[in-house]
Chain A
Amino acid sequence: MGILNLLRRNTFEHGVHPQEHKELTCRLPIRRLPFAPTLIVPLAQHAGAPAVPLVKPGQEIVRGEPVARADGFVSVPMHAPATGVVDSIRLMPTARGPKTESIVINVYGGASQEVLYEAPRDVDSMTPDEIIQAVQDAGMVGLGGAAFPTHVKMKPPPEHKVDTLVVNGCECEPYLTCDHRLMLEQTDDLLSGIHIVMRALGVERAMIGVEDNKMDAVEAIAGRLADNSPVSVHAVKTKYPQGAEKMLIESLLGRRVPSGCFPSSVGAAVFNVSTLAQIGALLPKGHGVIERVVTVTGPGVRNPGNYLVPVGTPVRFLLEFAGSTPKANELILGGPMMGMSVASLDVPVTKAVSGMVVLEASDTELRDRNVQPCIRCAYCVEACPMHLNPSTLGLLAAKGEYETMAREFHLNDCFECGCCSYVCPANIPLVQYFRIAKAINREKAA
């Protein structure tokens, strides 16, 4: 395998090649979505402690105004996505399942898209700590889908010396093109975001990884880089899950993040392009995260596109705006490999929602076949980017031996990319088993 490693360039071992379907939207410029009459802003739409509301029902709010504050370091504030009045603060359904305390806003008819609530500042003169504080104040979370508070990642443990900012422009999920469009249309915001974060992290180098199915984005970025720029852009192999941070670090730096460790342990910090573009656009103005680009696509959508969607927009509004076909039968927030299908059209778009993929019944036929016994074809073993043995893990899961899975078969290294379930010819719901196993192990540990 050592020789293979030498020969390998800009990719990682294993992974899968799902059909991309990006042609539906990759040439459609980002368009602004109008305000829905009611917006729902969940207070827990990021990893960490839920935000604490600053407003009361009946209170008028201005677009961009903070409506909830961070509760501690691993938490972020919320900002009003539109001018209007707070209807109530109550439990509302979210894509994750359980109802969550949310600020419900009635938007004023004809409310302006302009953000009036701002505090311009000179980012260049800010210290790293001031930048990190400003990023938290902006309510910034990982917009690639993880929703982990961004400022926390900007403060790696002191024993880890971070030398490279890895910029994730892979967008390896099928169907999604929001990052692709953003790299083309908001290149300058992206680059200024990269420079801001480099300064905060104190790193000399940034590497942008873009899958080689988006060469126009690679060229657009390369065209803006000076010859001696500390920022470089690299085409990496189009392969799912190239955009997983451990995979991308290996592809770009040739370093393997040790099992159970964070990227900072190998000197890397990974940020998504959409996160960085928002940092570059918002920080100088003192704005908060109130909207994001969402790819609305799939065979079940009449007018696919990339929309700039206010946070809190109900999925129903977005779907009605884009139009759905009569055969639409599944609605996924995020990409089709790791995204969540929603149970209700009343759930809102949150900061981490990168796409809304609508599938028709015929798209899911293959998945609805009977589950057959494992024939040990080893497809899953050859697909797992973490080099686990999903076949054996699946057999153990069926027997309920969850502790053995974690103790002897590295269950906790699984980041649920779904490659194993995707390839399984026997249609065994492998990653689904692993999620259950992990959840039960967590419960037992608690």
Chain B
Amino acid sequence: MDTRLKIELRTSPHLKQAVTVEQIMRNVVYALLPVCAFAVFAFGISVLALLMVTTLTCVLGESLFCRLSGRPSTVNDWSIVITGLLLGLTLPPGFPLWMAAVAALVAVGLGKALFGGLGYNVMNPALVGRAFVQAAFPVAITTWTPAFLDKRFSEFIPSTLTVPFMQPPALGDWIEQARVDAFSGATPLALQKFEQISTPVSDLLTGMTAGSAGETSALIILAGGLYLAARRMMDWRIPLGVLLGAALTSLPFWLMDSVRYPDPLFVLFSGGLMLGAVFMASDMVASPVTPRGVWIYSLFIGVLTVIIRLFGGLTEGVMYAILLGNAISPLIATVTQPRVFGAAGKDPRA
């Protein structure tokens, strides 16, 4: 009966776990969506436009660069959507859209395509894009607006719609005018650093502060991280290591001088540390592949963040800390190769 049976020849293993690259990336997007939703809720249509511009530019840029380099399009693997969303989330809410588009092009071009696309980039592409605009547009990237303004769903922040290649208008007057309650435009980090005013941790957790679009609610970011860790689509050691490194580094300073230096809890929940620890330091491609290396890498990022925050000219240090962590991660992986089963035995290579 089965004489015409056609069989295929393959090599073992003949079974395959169902998790794919696309699934991992798509789940990271799922975990980011609540963060995006809160960002839009807190800052209004300006952030909606910002996220759309960064994501669309990244997607278009990816397909353009794939075509230019003659590689099959990798837009479908969802990784570029993560880059777009993350980039938008790290920018100030009123960041001019044209500058956001530039940041996105740099992110996908310099951060990803130049190295050969997904899997080959040395650094987190979103942060490469952000680092570029930090240098190119120092004023716009440090211009913050208060959250929960009344007119946030009906009116753009004036700087959002800046004409391309023009400088955005100063926002001082607009903020004075729009502000109805106590929310200030200064970020908790700036308040702490320059005026020694500490923001309560409860506000940091729930996002009742100013800051970059997606960094304000530590709680929602943590929830996304827990989801990914539970699905084993993120290495839980990385956020834990970053936070641990940051807390342990800031502790002695706070003990020495609790007025001048922030307490460890404030360090953990303020600024972009949580967003960076959960969604950016944990970028699989740019972090070491070895379990011991992951600890070194993440602690390094935590320590560096606090050093930049406490002693640098900038209020925030997460971005540079992660980029530096990315840069040394191949080296870390090389020196932390896993110890092979039975290597500790006294009888090597009989």
- Interface residues, chain A, CB within 8 Å of chain B? 16, 18-19, 174, 246, 256-262, 265, 316, 319-320, 324, 328-332, 334, 336-343, 345, 357, 359, 363-364, 366-367, 369, 372-379, 381-382, 384-389, 391-392, 409-410, 413, 416, 418-419, 421-423, 425-427, 429, 431-432, 435
Interface centre among B5, B341, B349 (most CB of A within 10 A): B341
Q: List 19 A-B contacts (CB under 8 A).
A: A258-B350, A260-B342, A261-B342, A332-B12, A337-B14, A338-B12, A343-B9, A345-B7, A366-B17, A372-B21, A375-B24, A381-B289, A410-B343, A416-B12, A419-B13, A422-B13, A422-B16, A425-B21, A425-B23
A342–B7 Cα distance when bound, in Å, is: 8
A379–B7 Cα distance when bound, in Å, is: 31
Contact of B15 among A257, A374, A422, A425 (CB under 8 A): A422
B341–A373 CB distance below 8 A: no
A320–B21 CB distance below 8 A: no
A376–B285 CB distance below 8 A: yes
A339–B337 Cα distance when bound, in Å, is: 30
B345–A258 CB distance below 8 A: yes
Q: Name the interface residues of B1-56: CB closer than 8 Å to any CB of A.
A: 1-2, 5-21, 23-24
B344–A256 CB distance below 8 A: yes
Interface centre among A174, A261, A373, A413 (most CB of B within 10 A): A373
- Interface residues, chain B, CB within 8 Å of chain A? 1-2, 5-21, 23-24, 77, 79, 116-120, 235, 284-285, 287-291, 294, 333, 337-350
A377–B24 CB distance below 8 A: yes
B7–A329 CB distance below 8 A: yes
Closest chain A residue, CB of each to CB of B6:
A329
**Number of cross-chain contacts by CB at 8 Å:** 192
Contacts of B7 in A (CB 8 A): 328-331, 341-343, 345
A341–B338 CB distance below 8 A: no
A372–B76 Cα distance when bound, in Å, is: 12
Contacts of A423 in B (CB 8 A): 17, 19
Contacts of A332 in B (CB 8 A): 12, 14
B8–A174 CB distance below 8 A: no
Within the complex, the shortest CB–CB distance from A9 to chain B, in Å, comes to: 18
A259–B340 CB distance below 8 A: yes
Q: Contacts A18-B17, A336-B15, A376-B285; is A387 near B119 (CB within 8 Å)?
A: no
Interface centre among A259, A316, A331 (most CB of B within 10 A): A259
Contacts of A373 in B (CB 8 A): 116-120
Closest chain B residue, CB of each to CB of A409:
B337
B289–A357 CB distance below 8 A: no
Interface centre among A316, A369, A377 (most CB of B within 10 A): A377
A431–B13 CB distance below 8 A: yes
A419–B290 Cα distance when bound, in Å, is: 17
B13–A337 CB distance below 8 A: yes
A432–B348 Cα distance when bound, in Å, is: 26
A18–B18 Cα distance when bound, in Å, is: 10
A4–B117 Cα distance when bound, in Å, is: 38
Contacts of A331 in B (CB 8 A): 7
A27–B289 Cα distance when bound, in Å, is: 42
A336–B14 CB distance below 8 A: yes
A359–B8 Cα distance when bound, in Å, is: 10
B12–A418 CB distance below 8 A: yes
Q: Contacts A261-B350, A387-B339, A427-B16; is A319 near B2 (CB within 8 Å)?
A: yes
Within the complex, the shortest CB–CB distance from B23 to chain A, in Å, comes to: 7
Closest chain A residue, CB of each to CB of B340:
A410
Within the complex, the shortest CB–CB distance from A439 to chain B, in Å, comes to: 12
Contacts of B289 in A (CB 8 A): 376, 378, 381, 389, 391-392
- Given pairs A374-B119, A381-B338, A416-B12, 13 additional interface contacts (CB within 8 A): A16-B17, A258-B346, A329-B7, A334-B12, A336-B12, A340-B11, A345-B7, A372-B77, A375-B24, A378-B289, A387-B339, A392-B289, A421-B13
Within the complex, the shortest CB–CB distance from A176 to chain B, in Å, comes to: 13
Contact of A261 among B117, B291, B347 (CB under 8 A): B347
Contacts of A431 in B (CB 8 A): 12-13
B14–A265 CB distance below 8 A: no
Contacts of A341 in B (CB 8 A): 7-12, 14
Closest chain B residue, CB of each to CB of A386:
B341
A367–B16 CB distance below 8 A: yes
A110–B189 Cα distance when bound, in Å, is: 91
Q: Contacts A320-B2, A392-B289; is A338 near B345 (CB within 8 Å)?
A: no
A319–B17 Cα distance when bound, in Å, is: 27
Contacts of B13 in A (CB 8 A): 336-338, 418-419, 421-422, 431
A429–B12 Cα distance when bound, in Å, is: 10
A425–B345 CB distance below 8 A: no
A423–B339 Cα distance when bound, in Å, is: 21
Contact of B347 among A174, A265, A329, A426 (CB under 8 A): A265
A387–B12 CB distance below 8 A: no
B119–A426 CB distance below 8 A: yes
Contacts of A324 in B (CB 8 A): 2, 5
Contact of A381 among B10, B79, B290 (CB under 8 A): B290
Contacts of A387 in B (CB 8 A): 338-341
B285–A258 CB distance below 8 A: no
A422–B341 CB distance below 8 A: no
Closest chain B residue, CB of each to CB of A376:
B289
A246–B341 Cα distance when bound, in Å, is: 9
Contacts of B350 in A (CB 8 A): 258, 260-262, 265
Closest chain B residue, CB of each to CB of A431:
B13
A366–B6 Cα distance when bound, in Å, is: 20
Contacts of B18 in A (CB 8 A): 366
